Amino acid sequence: MRVAICEYGAGNVRSVSLAFERLGAEVVPDVLGADLAVLPGVGSARAAMAGLRARGHDVALRERIADERPVLGICLGLQLALEESAEDGGVPGLGLVAGRAVRLDAGRVPRIGWAQVGDSDTYYFAHSYAAHTPAATAWSEGVVAEVRSGSFIGCQFHPEKSGAAGARYLEEVLCLCLV
């Protein structure tokens, strides 16, 4: 299984690469050609979008979605896949999925730590914005935790940092890519 991780200048690309390599995947640079393209998630929306465009990843990811080939967005990567983010005064997203990212308004922000998703496992979150989208498939404490739309899967939590539960999640995503 070949996995491409979109680098955009500020992501925790190495953390994500290590997680996939532990599962036996091969990390490759070719975003268009890989079996799975991953849009990782550390950064701020504006800087990340500029970085994606500068590297041509925006075009490649849209093309993958149009061809119904798998894309996984993690945390900010999920938010960037939406039509718009309210971060940094409003930033247009990739528009791979309907919806927008809005600032969290309850509890301490950033929301940082482990929280249960639905009635399944506990995963690690670190975010100040969250998706508002009709494509939500799982929630955590009222926050959209997972999104699925066509060949796009997005998770607000960080599976690459969620220990054994996170590894199982990534393994499931890899299995979906084989179907």
Closest distance to other proteins from the beta carbon of 67 (Å):
30
The correct pick among 29, 56, 92, 163 for binding other proteins (CB under 8 A) is 163
Strand partners, 146: 138, 155
Nearest to 6 by CA among 35, 24, 30: 30
| Sole residue written with tokens 């149009």 | 66
Q: How far apart are CA 34 and CA 63, in angstroms?
A: 13
Closest distance to other proteins from the beta carbon of 35 (Å):
22
3 state SS of 77? helix
Closer CB to other proteins, residue 43 or residue 99?
43
102 near other proteins (CB under 8 A): no
Contact call for residues 38 and 81 (beta carbons, < 8 A): no
104 near other proteins (CB under 8 A): no
Site for other proteins in 38-97 (CB under 8 A): 42-44, 47, 76
Residue 171 falls in the annotated catalytic set: no
Instruction: Give the interface segment with other proteins, choosing from 64-72, 92-100, 111-119, 131-139 (CB under 8 A).
Output: 111-119
Q: How far apart are CA 50 and CA 40, in angstroms?
A: 15
Residue 6 falls in the annotated catalytic set: no
Q: How far apart are CA 38 and CA 16, in angstroms?
A: 9
Residue 158 falls in the annotated catalytic set: yes
Q: How far apart are CA 50 and CA 178, in angstroms?
A: 32
142 near other proteins (CB under 8 A): no
Closer CB to other proteins, residue 154 or residue 166?
166
99 near other proteins (CB under 8 A): no
Active site positions, annotated: 75, 158, 160
